[in-house]
Structure 1
Amino acid sequence: MTTEDPDTPDGGPATPTDRQGDAVSRFAVPEMDCPSCASKVESSVETLPGVEAIDPQVTTGTLTVRYDGSATAETEIVERIRSAGYAVEDRAETLRLSVPDMDCASCAGKVESALSTVDGLESYETQPTTGTVVLTRDGSHPTDESIVDAIESAGYDVTETSETGATDAGTDDDLWTSPRALKTWASGVVLAVGLGLEFLVPGANAQVGTVLGSALHVADLLFLVAVAVGGQAILHNGYYSARNLNLDIDLLMSIAILGALTASLAFGEALYFEAATLAVLFSIAELLERYSMDRARDSLEELMDLSPDEATVRRDGEEVVVPVDTVDVGERVVVRPGDKIPLDGDVIDGESAVNQAPITGESVPVDKTVGDEVYAGTINEGGYLEIQVTSTAGENTLSRIVEMVEDAQSNKTEREQFVERFSAYYTPVVVAFAVLVTVASPVVLGTTLSTAVVYGLTLLVLACPCAFVISTPVSVVSGITSAAKNGVLIKGGNHLEAMGAVDVVAFDKTGTLTKGELTVTDVIPLNGNSEGEVLQCARGLEARSEHPIGEAIVAEAGDGGEREVAAFESITGKGVRAELGGVPHFAGKPGLFEELGFDLSHVHATTDGGLVTKTAQQLCERNNCLDLLDETVPELQAEGKTVVLVGTEDELEGVIAVADEVRPEARAAVARLKSMGIGKTVMLTGDNERTAGAIAEQVGVDDYAAELLPDEKVAHVEELDAASDGGVAMVGDGINDAPALATATVGVAMGAAGTDTALETADVALLSDDLSKLPYLYDLSGRANGVIRQNVWASLGVKAALALAVPFGYVPIWLAVLAGDAGMTTAVTGNAMRLSNVEAEALDTEP
């Protein structure tokens, strides 16, 4: 773990040790907001012995110092910063603790009660679905030890302290052979033997004495042993619940067990069997509940395990294997075929296909070469790569995704908030009902007092709302982690719930429905020229142009056949002029050539010597290659393409059409959304009306709005939202469309992997540029809402039905244990885990 130095009075941050043994500290100096300020601070600090490097970051008001910890203390650095006239601000630290036994709402309540007594904690949040406690403290106070002591005083062990929030679910073998499990198995055997003596071999069940006038048989002794062995953990946890005034299942079960034993002595009618049954069955149910919760946590653990623990780094000309958390930004990492990429970085040598499915969900490996970005946790499929690290282990894309998935639990859904409010009243009401049934049953129903006590104890078992409370968060975690493994990052349960209810989806055009990059789509040679000749002529004209259209033409033409270019001139808003081989040539809009004297409606075209596009070929066949431009240019423009003519002052050589291509999966994604129940799809774009109409027709959206400024996009989203029943999802690039994304019910960012802004600002981020993830997201959200409804009403309905049936003798105490509490918790967890099997479907990408 990285923590602040407890001796630092000013909240100085972590002082980790780098590979040479030097210490590195970071300080918040908010008043250091200009280069001269940074210079003063740097001059003051560098006078200390052992200081090796100082990095003042004016934009963030942060000072990073690398120094020899044996020569200089962090407190001395703080003093030197102050002596330069700048204050060091106390910095809150976020701490994550793994508490695997905290696997239900009542457990979380006890931990929260214990933490409320710790001074200095700014905030704390319990996450029972991941067994994690997230705390914020002021500097280094309170200490780790005091926080851990508080949690352990509530009866829970802290197995790991870190800033990564790693959970420690343990293996199945660990669970089933744990001390709790072994005691449960032992108590179960003793209970079974007691039952055999009680009912199968009554002759061997001799009386061995009396207790307060009540006969005590061998079976009763065995039942008491079962209580002592199997109920030990229950009574232990119940003690901590009582000490923290938490009316949870552990306390209620403890009261039920002790109540049964007390009633046995008080009424002379043995309830030892009931007490033993409670202890054994509840312990078994707890193990099953823990098993189910571990399975839920495993889905998040799989994300954490994607990144390797070690990296092969090239240092001083040699390759050394080191822990990933010791690799600095800028170092070279070597990744061989089949290895996982340990850290985010840029390829500086080699080429390979990288399987990015663990991060982006892309099913096909992506080719990587020098200059391309790669992500930690992805897999090098083929070639050798050398990567220059761009982010440390705790700051890479994978780490941010894992952290955001964990933190998503804090954004509670409306159902979750309802459940929490309801549960606050549920337990006291059922406990009061238990007391009423115990007192009133002998009078109203004519039951014996011992039977009435059993009824009351059974209701106490049903009084804890564990299954009811856990039903929503476990579904949310299962859904969010399933989405993350499919390349979709959902920033909270509220967004998961909202996405499943939207009935309008609005799309940005550029970079969302289209690829966001101009490419040549049509080349039509004229007057005996070939396609290649037209492209090479255009390349010579556009090579010096910085316009995106020119760049697209140059990229399509490639190398070779270059002509000597002279007298280059850009004709603003119309095109370019240059001399190729001494002959003046032009490339530009049709209007430019009309100004040169061309009558485009009477230009004869030929396709001899060059391959033409499907569109041009069809037109040629229809018009016998006459007056091709008269129809071709308008039709290309109607398709949303930009037309560039190429030629001399006397002769047209060809036509080139350039467009931002529609994503191959866009039309199928829109159609799939409609088939799944989306009522309306809309495209919102700043592009011109003609292009917008063409793209809208190609992808099949119901409506579109063009030539929109950012604030006009916001207004359109607001109008759509006002007219919809379930809200609007806006899909964009996460940066340019930020206002519209923020206004929508759910903002969905495209291609967010490695993009800090998109990851931080979007409600949902599609980590790859793949629109097929959108129908998957909608499907998953709809299923999650269904599972949440099933879990909430099933857990509440079963509890209510059992509670109402108890006074009539229909619910034995063992059924209350298995069905009413931990059994239902296991059931709702298992139901939630079905979401982990929802996978993105491949969509048809045919145009």
Structure 2
Amino acid sequence: MDCAEEVTLLKRELGPLVGDTDRLQFDIFNRKLTIRQGTPTVSPDAMIAAVTKTGMNAETWNDEPTGAGDGHDHASRSRTILTVFSGVFGLGGLLTHAWLEGGFTNALGSEGMGLNTSVPLPAIALYVAGIIAGVWYVAPRALHSAKRMMPDMNLLMFIAVCGAALIGEWFEAVTVSFLFSLSLLLESWSVGRARRAIAALMDLAPVQARVRNEQGNDIEVTPNEVAIGQLFYVRPGEKIPLDGTIQAGFSAVNQAPITGESAPLTKGPDDQVFAGTINGDGSLEVACTKPANDTTLAHIIQLVEEAQSNRAPSEQWVEKFARYYTPIVMLMAALVMIVPPLFFGGEWSDWFYRSLVLLVIACPCALVISTPVSIVSALTSAARNGVLVKGGVFMEAPAHLKAIAMDKTGTLTEGKPTVVDIVPLGEHDEEELLIRAASLETQSDHPLARAIVEAANERNVQLMPVADFQIIQGKGAQGILNHRQYWIGSHRYLEERDQETPEVHEQLEAMQQAGRSVVVIGNDNHVCGFITLADTLRPSVKQTLKDLHSTGIEHVVMLTGDNHGTAEAIASEAGIDEVHAELLPEDKVDLVGKLVDKYGHVAMVGDGVNDAPALARASLGIAMGAAGSDAAIETADIALLADNLTKLPWLIKHSKKTLGIIHQNIGCSLAVKAIFMILTFVGFASLWAAIAADMGASLLVIANGLRLLRDHD
């Protein structure tokens, strides 16, 4: 099970069995079908037998990870091998045919390959092998659709292949079977990427938690073995295994994987911590508040699965068209073959020939090619422009967007703190303050420390040696510079030292409200000054937002886990229409859902693991590819490879152009078919002319689609 079409097929077959299709819950990620409790009760064997009738296979679900992926991998390998065989045998058949007939011209003949020109048996054998390989997975589903009298894309393709083979158009038959098999394979691969995104999320959680036994010794157990209320211990630099409340210890905790905050937060007793976040330089004693399967990280994984599954793409236009196209063509061919000889004295051979012409021109080759060739060209052009689009449906989606939600950290901003202000107090100056701060921070790996050291290096100041350096857990650090002790730390640490004056407090509060992180430097006697840092706005953001509005985007919203002060400051500077701050991943999903309800077509742009559920919930997920997390990139439908937001307006324009060319190609394909159907009825269309027209239409739509390769900035 890889797509919405197969879900629809299963609903048709299983719905009458369970009484109500609402009882069927489909997880495309894991190829899992769950039947909710209710009546009538259906045995597993009956369900498996019903699934088998659709051409798919089923087995009772096993929660153990071993073995489940083996079946998926085997199915993917089999489909890949069969698709390759279909293409190789089809090409081999054409070459063999041309060689035995003395060239391609003789092989094709003047009126087609099947009617007036014999096809050598070796070539037929190769063609048949290619056809069988191509329709191996299609044929059972096509037959099921025919049995149910509910035509779909599988039946359309199967009839086209059989019709072409019936009149001896073997190469046409193998070409159609290969193209359709290839499209199914690509769809399966895209779902595989989503499955790997879930695996990337699960890798965030440590596989061991450290607890203390009755003898007072630290032992390692799995997170599932830790009970609610039980204490576990986290050493410096380790990932936190479970959600909990700190009982003892101070540390700066990097919560970016979960909340998206731009800088680590200092945590102490009674503060909450999340599974998958990264402990800083302090040791923590934490009381577990949630079991392993109910942590915030576990909910993120669940949200990604549900959001992706719930937004399975609607049936493609061609599939809907096939519901009417296939039975109409079949009926028309039968009427052309039977009615004139029976009622008007026509020649059976003549009208049988005309019905074959009708079947050939009805072959959807040009129609099938019209969209993929445009999409492939559009995808190639996008890749050249640094935009990775993961499939055709996502290439068309930007053209319909009405609103865009954006993460702040790493998306609208650079994603790392930089020094904004150096504020000396008393008789100190900026260079002196920076030298002391950077000298102390060279001993630390904290993001704020690295930013201060980087600022000192940019100014080429000479740092001082530090003696007796000590980290003050969760608060700051201290050391001796030029025979005098200095300390560096947070606003909270300044308050704890009782060295804060009302004037300094007022200044610090104002800067924190403006979205700045503040580092204070002082000695035992007084405060020397402080350095403010902030995650700076990307230079191109303002112009990008203007360009987005000019392309038809009505509303741009910023969603962030950062505090309100920082969020408002960034939004005001960038020109964002709406701001939501201090959000957890589930909050982002809810807000994106509300935007989808209001505007219909909404994109989410983000870079972190915490953005993955929202990326999945949006109509279109766009990830920052260079600095973004693997989970965000895999979950998203589109990735900006160079983290260049200016590509967003270009992408929307490119998508609209792509959609226009697709419409032109579909219109051209259908127009050619309509014209030749009319000519068939009046007797002016030959088999060879029908084949030539179909090939001509295919070449025309290919040439038109290739124009997208020239779509550059």
Take 2:115 and 2:589, find their aligned partners in 1: how far apart are those partners? 69
- Give 1 or 2: higher helix fraction: 2
2:588 counterpart residue number: 713
Take 1:719 and 1:823, find their aligned partners in 2: how far apart are those partners? 47
1:466 counterpart residue number: 365
Aligned-pair CA distance for 1:483: 4.3
Aligned-pair CA distance for 1:533: 2.0
Q: TM-score, normalised by structure 2?
A: 0.56
Offset from partner CA, 1:73-125 (integer Å, 9 cap, x none): xxxxxxxxxxxxxxx99944746xxxxxxxxxxxxxxxxxxxxxxxxxx6788
1:431-580 paired onto structure 2 within 5 Å: 431-440=330-339, 452=351, 455-480=354-379, 482-484=381-383, 486-524=385-423, 530-544=429-443, 547-558=446-457, 560-565=462-467, 570=472, 579-580=480-481
* Distance change >3 Å, CA 545–CA 752, structure 1 → 2: closer
1:741 counterpart residue number: 615
2:678 counterpart residue number: 804
Take 2:178 and 2:559, find their aligned partners in 1: how far apart are those partners? 48
1:180-219 paired onto structure 2 within 5 Å: 180-181=97-98, 186=103, 188=105
- Select the residue among 499, 517, 531 that pairs with 1:596: 499
- Select the residue among 674, 688, 698 that pairs with 1:825: 698
Figure out how many residues of one structure are paired with residues of the other and give that number.
Answer: 501
Aligned-pair CA distance for 1:682: 1.0
Partner SS, residue 737 of structure 1: helix
1:751 counterpart residue number: 625
Aligned-pair CA distance for 1:742: 2.7
Offset from partner CA, 1:367-419 (integer Å, 9 cap, x none): xxxxxxxxxxxxxxxxxxxxxxxxxxxxxxxxxxxxxxxxxxxx996453x42
* Distance change >3 Å, CA 413–CA 419, structure 1 → 2: farther
1:11-410 paired onto structure 2 within 5 Å: 91-92=70-71, 94=73, 133=82, 156=86, 158=88, 178-181=95-98, 186=103, 188=105, 227-228=117-118, 237=127, 248-249=159-160, 252-253=163-164
* Distance change >3 Å, CA 822–CA 288, structure 1 → 2: farther
* Distance change >3 Å, CA 291–CA 668, structure 1 → 2: farther
1:789 counterpart residue number: 663
Offset from partner CA, 1:669-728 (integer Å, 9 cap, x none): 3333322222211111111112111111233321111121222222211211111122x2
Offset from partner CA, 1:283-333 (integer Å, 9 cap, x none): 8x999999999xx9xx9xxxxxxxxxxxxxxxxxxxxxxxxxxxxxxxxxx
- Select the residue among 541, 544, 549 that pairs with 1:674: 549
Take 2:115 and 2:65, find their aligned partners in 1: how far apart are those partners? 64
Aligned-pair CA distance for 1:826: 2.9
Take 1:797 and 1:190, find their aligned partners in 2: how far apart are those partners? 29
* Distance change >3 Å, CA 530–CA 446, structure 1 → 2: farther
* Distance change >3 Å, CA 126–CA 486, structure 1 → 2: farther
* Distance change >3 Å, CA 825–CA 90, structure 1 → 2: closer
1:642 counterpart residue number: 517
**One-letter amino acid matched to 2:432:** E
- Kept after mapping to 1: 8 A contact 2:394/2:637: yes
Query: What is the root-mean-square deviation of aligned Cα atoms in Å?
Result: 5.3
Offset from partner CA, 1:611-665 (integer Å, 9 cap, x none): xxxxxxxxxxxxxxxxxx99x8788656533344545577765553211122233
Take 1:650 and 1:783, find their aligned partners in 2: how far apart are those partners? 68
- Kept after mapping to 2: 8 A contact 1:495/1:746: yes
**One-letter amino acid matched to 2:481:** L
Take 2:667 and 2:114, find their aligned partners in 1: how far apart are those partners? 37
| Segment of structure 1 superposing worse, 690-699 or 750-759 | 750-759
Partner SS, residue 519 of structure 1: strand
- Kept after mapping to 2: 8 A contact 1:729/1:744: yes
**One-letter amino acid matched to 1:227:** T
**One-letter amino acid matched to 2:536:** E
Take 2:390 and 2:113, find their aligned partners in 1: how far apart are those partners? 50
* Distance change >3 Å, CA 185–CA 775, structure 1 → 2: farther
- Select the residue among 722, 736, 741 that pairs with 2:597: 722
**One-letter amino acid matched to 1:581:** N
Take 2:68 and 2:163, find their aligned partners in 1: how far apart are those partners? 47
- Kept after mapping to 2: 8 A contact 1:503/1:725: yes
Aligned-pair CA distance for 1:180: 4.5
- Kept after mapping to 2: 8 A contact 1:752/1:759: no
Take 1:655 and 1:775, find their aligned partners in 2: how far apart are those partners? 40
Take 1:432 and 1:239, find their aligned partners in 2: how far apart are those partners? 29
Take 1:464 and 1:286, find their aligned partners in 2: how far apart are those partners? 9
Take 2:313 and 2:116, find their aligned partners in 1: how far apart are those partners? 42
2:209 counterpart residue number: none
Take 1:512 and 1:738, find their aligned partners in 2: how far apart are those partners? 13
- Kept after mapping to 2: 8 A contact 1:639/1:695: no
**One-letter amino acid matched to 2:463:** G
Q: TM-score, normalised by structure 1?
A: 0.48
- Select the residue among 730, 754, 763 that pairs with 2:637: 763
Aligned-pair CA distance for 1:460: 2.9
Aligned-pair CA distance for 1:464: 1.7
1:695 counterpart residue number: 570
Take 2:396 and 2:113, find their aligned partners in 1: how far apart are those partners? 48
Partner SS, residue 227 of structure 1: coil
* Distance change >3 Å, CA 721–CA 427, structure 1 → 2: closer
* Distance change >3 Å, CA 521–CA 446, structure 1 → 2: farther
1:213 counterpart residue number: none
**Identity between Structure 1 and Structure 2 (%):** 36
Offset from partner CA, 1:780-824 (integer Å, 9 cap, x none): 4444433433333432333134313432356555442222x2332
Take 2:115 and 2:501, find their aligned partners in 1: how far apart are those partners? 105
Take 1:223 and 1:465, find their aligned partners in 2: how far apart are those partners? 18
Which structure has the greater CA radius of gyration? 1
Take 1:292 and 1:239, find their aligned partners in 2: how far apart are those partners? 15
* Distance change >3 Å, CA 734–CA 183, structure 1 → 2: farther
- Kept after mapping to 2: 8 A contact 1:413/1:497: no
Take 1:714 and 1:413, find their aligned partners in 2: how far apart are those partners? 19
- Kept after mapping to 2: 8 A contact 1:519/1:659: yes
**One-letter amino acid matched to 1:707:** E
1:683 counterpart residue number: 558
Partner SS, residue 588 of structure 2: helix
* Distance change >3 Å, CA 647–CA 792, structure 1 → 2: same
- Kept after mapping to 2: 8 A contact 1:504/1:729: yes
Partner SS, residue 576 of structure 2: coil
Take 2:641 and 2:528, find their aligned partners in 1: how far apart are those partners? 44
**One-letter amino acid matched to 1:560:** Q
Structure 1 stretches lacking a partner, 5+ long? 1-59, 63-87, 96-121, 135-147, 160-168, 196-221, 258-278, 300-410, 602-628, 842-847
Whether 2:318 is the aligned partner of 1:419: answer yes
Aligned-pair CA distance for 1:477: 4.4
* Distance change >3 Å, CA 460–CA 720, structure 1 → 2: closer
* Distance change >3 Å, CA 61–CA 438, structure 1 → 2: closer
